[in-house]
Amino acid sequence: MISLSRLTQELKLKAAGQGDPGLSGLTEDSRQVRPGWLFAAVPGLKYNGRDFMAEAVGRGAVAVLLTEPDVNLTVPRLIVPREKLRPVMAEAAALIYDRPAEKMTLVGLTGTNGKTTTAYLLESILRQDHKATGVMGTINYRWPGQTRPADNTTPEGPALMAALADMAAAGAQAAVLEVSSHALNLGRVSGLAFDAALFTNLSRDHLDFHQDMEQYYQAKKSLFTTHLKKGGQRAAVNLDDESGRRLASELGPASLTFGFNPEARVRGSGLKLSRNGLSLKIETPQGCWEQSSPLLAEINASNLLGAVALSLILDIPVETVKAALAGATGAPGRLEKVGGNSDYLVLVDYAHTPDALAKALKACRDLEPNRVIVVFGCGGDRDRGKRPLMGRLGGELADLSLITSDNPRTEEPGSILLEVESGLDGLKLERYEAGELISDGWNSGYLLMVDRRAAIREAVRLMEPGDVLLISGKGHEDYQIIGRDKRRLDDREEALKALQALGRAE
């Protein structure tokens, strides 16, 4: 708990109104307010927190953080400019919860793709090093004795700081955070100083939020320039990525580079890929070794190198790293095998950007398949510009594409499919119909199927021995958003049912 007067002094704010209450919590959701809490009245896209201030006070809020001075409240008010509200909210939460991040080693991961898998790999390494670890990211928030669903990759500041406080109280010695560009842009991680940070890569995504790729890059870069502790080599940066090379150049000696690039300090070579995993040689300033892993594909080799670079920054012994990576299985829904039958290899992946889809399809090609079949779509109410790009990638990199619904949200699903299909113009591909008997020896083509379950069943039906089927876009998610309804749908479950129905699952 912290007094209002101390909070205002620490944050250099002024309070209006009488009283100096103690503050034991903070939230921007009036429904979660408890007696003794500070309520943040955030102006949102759908709701304005100002409309819920009276409810918050009725539930026990003893002060309100807001942007408008002309309000009639019986509790003290902290007035801040609108653009500073979220950063102040996060910094206030850090103080109220007694700066929990400072009680742990704090690691941040950012980039378009690879954050989640790298988080799982680093978690395995830290546990191998006998460190109790908490992780917050796309799949869930978890720490010793607790697993919670993730509403956002990086939650709002109050929820983030409260979770870090729970982690520390549970005995976590390290916290690994996937840090989204939204979180960086909106100030959700204000008040945090990271001991180490990783940059995976940058490709087209979230351009419905960022104006352009330069703004997207600058948001990611701010993790290293604003939120990383000073002194020493604290940034692990992917030198195989164009934006990574730019970032490494701009950070200078603060970065430890990794990749297959001959100039990388943590360098991979001799990569060998199979349907059972991968192996490569890893050269580092602390020595070199041969590393095996049950993970598939070159992209996961890059994730392994990133995890190694972070481990060196954190002074984890090389033997510990090697042992942990040999058994680490990665993240759910990231090139995750379904069914266990290598003759009918089905992989479920979260790839939902053009770059991620291209890499996932390349990963399938690297397994030397008879043919590659892909099921994918694009989300509604999101960046429409990537739809034809992903359609063309499916047409160019797979033998058969089943274009289907992702999370259509409030858009008409069939219209989204047509925008994806527009990317196939000029490829002269055969358009098939669902249920059609495709003749032996077919080489390329596509189907449009709005129903995702039906598309998965159809894709499994069309498989032949030696084929690889990639079901892309949703990965670990067990739901589909249609309209404003969240409905149960798990790609892994649907694929397994289809394999079992045809006697193709072991």
137-163 pLDDT, tens per residue?
Answer: 999 999 999 999 998 999 999 999 999
Q: Do 45 and 71 belong to one domain?
A: yes
Q: Do 379 and 456 belong to one domain?
A: yes
Residue 40 tokens, joined:
């943040």
Residue 107 in any domain: the answer is yes
pLDDT of 443 = 60
d(CA 40, CA 216): 27
252-269 pLDDT, tens per residue?
Answer: 999 999 999 999 999 999
Residue 46 confidence (pLDDT) above 90: no
Residue 208 confidence (pLDDT) above 70: no
Q: Do 69 and 40 belong to one domain?
A: yes
For the full predicted model, state whether its pTM sits above 0.75. Answer: yes
Q: What is the mean pLDDT of residues 310-333?
A: 97
Q: Domain containing 53 — which CATH number? A: 3.40.1390.10
Cα torsion through 188, 194, 200, 205, rounded to 10: 10
Per-position DSSP letters for 254-312, written without gaps between them: GEEEEESSTT-SEEEEEEEEETTEEEEEEEETTEEEEEEES--SHHHHHHHHHHHHHHH
Question: Where in the sequence is the domain holding 439, given as residue range(s)?
Answer: 336-501
Q: Do 71 and 127 belong to one domain?
A: no
d(CA 342, CA 465): 9
pLDDT of 65 = 97
Residue 179 in any domain: the answer is yes
Name the domain count of the chain. 3
Q: What is the mean pLDDT of residues 494-503?
A: 97
Of 68, 96, 124, the domain-final residue: 96
pLDDT band at 419 (very low <50, low <70, confident <90, very high): very high
Q: Domain containing 443 — which CATH number? A: 3.90.190.20
Q: Do 71 and 140 belong to one domain?
A: no
Q: What is the mean pLDDT of residues 314-335?
A: 96
Q: Do 53 and 144 belong to one domain?
A: no
Q: What is the mean pLDDT of residues 186-213?
A: 84
Averaged pLDDT score across all residues of the chain: 94
d(CA 4, CA 41): 17
Q: Do 194 and 300 belong to one domain?
A: yes
Of 52, 72, 96, the domain-final residue: 96
What residue type is 149 in one-letter code? P
pLDDT of 436 = 82
Q: Do 218 and 344 belong to one domain?
A: no
Q: Do 107 and 84 belong to one domain?
A: no
Q: Do 276 and 175 belong to one domain?
A: yes
Residue 217 in any domain: the answer is yes
Q: Domain containing 181 — which CATH number? A: 3.40.1190.10
List, as own/partner pairs, every contact residues 276-280 make where C-beta atoms lie below 8 angstroms and the sequence separation is at least 24, other chains included: 280/304
pLDDT of 69 = 81
Of 96, 115, 131, the domain-final residue: 96
Residue 23 in any domain: the answer is yes
Q: Do 349 and 309 belong to one domain?
A: no
